[in-house]
Amino acid sequence: MLSESDILFAIYIAIPAYVANAFPTLFRGGPPIDLGRRFTDGERILGDNKTLRGLAFGLLCGLLATVAEALFFSQELLLLGGLVSAGALSGDLLGAFIKRRMRLQPGAPFPLLDQLDFVLGALLLSYPVHRPSLGTVLVIVISTPPIHLLANFIAYRLGVKKNWW
């Protein structure tokens, strides 16, 4: 059975992870992170959609969400939220790397990888500071795909994203 602390820590982790993952879309453009380089398979390492500007603003916005959490709840969340934000962006980049290895075009759907790569990265990078319970992980993993799809659909309808997924 889920405890109140499972749900609270899921929220503490989800907010900076979701914010860090969402905001690069709003600040896209500029040089790609991979600088146009190709991996040993001849494909781009990450592609044009993963930019330095998006990475920087995603991290900044995730950190701002973390500061807001710390102000409202506990300053102990600062380190956790910082790691969660960086982990979310790292997980998303790993997802893009995997999709390029599979020769999928940027923006092509990859169910579950697209919805979970960033939260799994957030959980992994924050693990040394906070080892989430199984309940916390389940709350995050089960709730993230529908939330992610809904957020993407809204961004698509607003013209922020090219695809609804």
In tens digits, the chain (165 residues) has pLDDT values of: 789 999 999 999 999 999 999 999 888 889 999 999 999 999 999 999 999 999 999 999 999 999 999 999 999 999 999 999 999 999 999 999 999 999 998 888 999 999 999 999 999 999 999 999 999 999 999 999 999 999 999 999 999 888 888
Backbone angles phi, psi at 51, to 5 degrees: -110, 160
- Contact (CB, 8 A) for 126 and 55: no
Query: Which residues 6+ apart lie within 8 Å of 127 measured at CB?
Result: none
32 has which bridge partners? Answer: 51
- Chain centre distance of CA 65: 13
d(CA 165, CA 153): 6
Whole-prediction pTM:
0.94
d(CA 60, CA 73): 20
